[in-house]
Amino acid sequence: MNLLVWDDGRVVRASEYRCPRSYVLQRIHTLGYQATNLGRHIMLLRESSAELFGFMSLCQVEDAERIISRLLQESRVSPRFSCSVAMRLDSKGTLSFEVETPSYYEGASLRAKRLRGAFIHASEPREVCQNSVTVAIDAMNDSRIKGYGDMPLWVDDSGNLISRPWRPIFAVYGKRVYTPQQFDSVEYVVAREAISAAGFELVIHSLPVKSLKRMEELFEVDIMGITSLYAIEEHRLLFMTTAQIANKMQPKLK
């Protein structure tokens, strides 16, 4: 593979690319060289750029589809594997698309490796969209914690679990799935639809840390699929419901 970036009409190797300015971001799930939920991603990018930078992207769905498909093919990504493409709009209005490392799964899936949850305190304010700041924070905490096989679980000043639009968190008890907040993000909407399709009820309710030891399962959703937790502290977690939800999550290879 030769992963590439389209940067305002210029194509460069992803390994040589660094966005020099602050930006807003949408990660897009692609399969078979086709972008999933692209119209919604572009709408969310426009909203977040208007909020943070004071202007909206002029990118059209048809143009983005063409760029993404061509970029994936020239990056020599297999059409059978899911691959995320990062769509960025920087503070100067420059649009870019970056082909990221393929997942080697055929569609949205439950990752084979399960992780242990580790709590991280986060004070207000919370970021409402994925951007250069949240990317740096996530990378720092993921590298610090995942070295021990853990996944960071964000907790607010009141001791409640924090869910974020690009990585919403869900807890399972019986036939109900709980999440502390609903979002307009593609990640949240895809998860909500899969939960419903699997026959479970989604309940919006705060998740105090002390309540998690009563939960049967805990999982986090990102644009490529689901990560299931096997434990928080000494409390062991299951994954049967999570697997059923993952089986309903779109897209899937046809």
pLDDT of residue 35 exceeding 80, the answer is yes
- Decide: residue 67, CB within 10 A, 0-12 exposed, 13-18 middle, 19+ buried: buried
Mean pLDDT of 207-220: 97
Q: Beta partners for 179?
A: 204
pLDDT at 143: 78
Give the predicted TM-score (pTM) of the model: 0.95
Confidence band of 43 (pLDDT split at 50, 70, 90): very high
pLDDT of residue 27 exceeding 90, the answer is yes
CATH 3.20.10.10 range(s) for the chain read: 109-248
The 10s digit of each residue's pLDDT in 94-136 is 999 999 999 989 999 999 999 999 998 887 556 778 999 999 8
Confidence band of 137 (pLDDT split at 50, 70, 90): confident
CATH of domain 4-99: 3.30.470.10
pLDDT at 138: 87
| Ramachandran assignment for 133, one of left (phi > 0), alpha (psi -120 to 50 degrees), beta (any other) | alpha
pLDDT at 139: 85
pLDDT at 227: 97
pLDDT at 147: 65
Cα 172 versus chain centre, distance? 19
pLDDT at 125: 58
Mean pLDDT of 82-96: 97
71, HSE (Cβ side, Cα atoms, 13 Å): 31
Q: Which of 55-64, 132-141, 143-152, 185-194 has the highest mean pLDDT?
A: 185-194
Q: What is the mean pLDDT of the chain?
A: 94
**Distance (Å, whole) CA 133 – CA 36:** 25
Top-confidence residue, 121 or 170: 170
Place of tokens 């990504």: 77
Asked if the 109-248 domain carries CATH number 3.40.50.300, the reply is no
The 10s digit of each residue's pLDDT in 221-240 is 999 999 999 999 999 999 99
Count of residues for the chain?
Answer: 254
pLDDT of residue 72 exceeding 70, the answer is yes
pLDDT of residue 218 exceeding 90, the answer is yes
Instruction: For residue 213, give the amino acid letter.
Output: K
pLDDT at 1: 87
Mean pLDDT of 179-183: 97
How many CB atoms are closer than 10 A to CB 68?
A: 22
Of 173, 230, 180, 181, nearest to 201 by C-alpha is 173
CATH 3.30.470.10 range(s) for the chain read: 4-99
